[in-house]
Amino acid sequence: MLKRVILVFVSLLCIFNSFGMINNYEHSYSFVSSYLLGIGKAGLAVDNLGIESFLFNPASGYLKKFSFELVGVGVSLNSDSIDAINYISSLVGSGDQNAIIDYAVSLIGKPIYPSLKLGILGFSVPFSGFSLNFGIVSSSINFYFEFHNPLSTAGFMDFLASVLISPYIGLTLPLGNFSSGNSDIDNYLLKRLNVGLNLRLSFSIGVSENITLGEIVSGQYNLANLAGAFTNVVTRVLPDLGFLYKIPLDDKEGSEQRLNIALGVKDIGGVVFRDLSANEFVFIPTTFNIGVAYFIDLYNYFGIHRSFRENYISLDFHDLFFQRRDKDFFKRIHIGISSELYNLDDLISFKFGLGINGGYPTLGFSLKLTAVKLGFSVYTEELGVYAGQDPDTRYVFSASIGW
Residue of 10, 1, 8, 213 lying closest to 106 (CA atoms): 10
Q: Which domain holds residue 276?
A: 2-402
d(Cα 274, Cα 22) in Å, to the nearest integer? 12
Residue of 135, 130, 99, 132 lying closest to 118 (CA atoms): 135
Asked whether the predicted pLDDT for residue 12 surpasses 50, the reply is no
Which band of pLDDT confidence, cut at 50, 70 and 90, is reported for residue 3? very low
Helix, strand, or coil (residue 101): helix
In this structure, what are the phi and psi dihedrals at residue 166, rounded to the nearest 5 degrees? -135, 95
d(Cα 149, Cα 157) in Å, to the nearest integer? 9
Asked if 75 and 138 touch (Cβ cutoff 8 Å), the reply is no
Which band of pLDDT confidence, cut at 50, 70 and 90, is reported for residue 335? very high
Q: Which long-range contacts (CB under 8 A, 24 or more apart) does 282-287 make?
A: 282/25, 282/325, 284/25, 284/28, 284/324, 285/323, 285/324, 286/323, 287/28, 287/318, 287/319, 287/320, 287/321, 287/323, 287/324
Which band of pLDDT confidence, cut at 50, 70 and 90, is reported for residue 350? very high
Which band of pLDDT confidence, cut at 50, 70 and 90, is reported for residue 201? confident
How many helices (H) and strands (E) the chain has is answered by 9, 17
Asked whether the predicted pLDDT for residue 69 surpasses 90, the reply is no
Q: How many domains does the chain have?
A: 1
222 or 5: which carries more pLDDT confidence?
222
Residue of 397, 403, 394, 362 lying closest to 73 (CA atoms): 397
Residue of 247, 246, 202, 207 lying closest to 226 (CA atoms): 207
Report the chain's terminal Cα–Cα distance, integer Å. Answer: 53
d(Cα 89, Cα 84) in Å, to the nearest integer? 8
d(Cα 306, Cα 314) in Å, to the nearest integer? 23
Q: Domain holding 290: CATH number?
A: 2.40.160
Residue of 399, 397, 295 lying closest to 337 (CA atoms): 295
Q: Using one digit for the tens of pLDDT, what is the confidence trace for 249-293?
A: 875 544 578 999 999 999 898 877 655 445 566 778 899 999 999
